Amino acid sequence: MVLLAVAGLANGSGTEQSEVVVARSNAEAESAAAVTPSTGTSSAPITFRYEVLGNPIVGQPVSVNVTVSSAVTDTPISLDYRVTDASSMQFAESQALRTEIVFAAGDEPSSHQITVIPQREGRLYLNVSAEIRGDKDTLMKTMSIPIQVAAAPLDVEEADGAEEGDSPVLHNSEN
């Protein structure tokens, strides 16, 4: 018999900890109940802020300003940018997908501009991850930035030789 248990435990600080236990018998299930949940933190000491510039439209580049701040100094922080579905959104050709920053004491937050090109309308997500590697552990924080994309506007154009009252010809302005 295989038993899978997942529990969300509040640790009093407003964050949740999860415990996953796999047991192969009833005896193992009873002893697994005594397992202590991880005391690791669920987020790194990093703060993200973002701003989507303009009105995102299918097929048109859109810039997202991401500001990163951290209390950790003199340690490199790796930033990674990802989209989970390349058919829905792509990075601009010149966009770096990874960068590294180091904060010194008293430094201002670091600003980064990411340019993506939405390929469809709807809500799409740009994922930003920050990772701090220490001697004993790695701290990581990830944020999904929602980008609400509108359809490309349609142009209305009179067809050659069309007479007044005929239906206009609609075409997508991307072409």
For the whole prediction, is pTM greater than 0.95? Answer: no
Residue (of 36, 110, 50) closest to 76 by Cα position: 110
Q: Does the structure show a pLDDT above 80 at 55?
A: yes
Contacts 24+ apart (CB under 8 A), 2-10: 3/29, 5/32, 7/37, 9/37
pLDDT in tens, 60-94: 999 999 999 998 888 899 999 999 999 999 999 99
Percent of the chain residues topping a pLDDT of 90: 48
Answer yes or no: are the C-beta atoms of 110 and 76 closer than 8 Å: no
Grade residue 156 by pLDDT with cuts at 50, 70 and 90: low
Q: How far apart are CA 45 and CA 164, in angstroms?
A: 65
Q: Please, are residues 133 and 44 in contact by the beta-carbon 8 Å criterion?
A: no
The CA-based angle 93-98-104, given to 5 degrees, is 135
pLDDT, tens digit, 9 for 90 and up, residues 100-129: 999 888 889 999 999 999 999 999 999 999
Q: Residue 24 pLDDT > 70, yes or no?
A: no
Query: What domains are there in the chain, each with its CATH number?
Result: 3-32 (no CATH), 46-149 (2.60.40.10)
How far apart are alpha carbons 175 and 172 in whole angstroms? Answer: 6
* Structure-model confidence comparison of residues 29 and 164, the more confident one: 164
| The pLDDT value given to residue 160 | 56
Dihedral sign from CA coordinates of 155, 52, 130, 39: negative
Average pLDDT score over the chain: 75
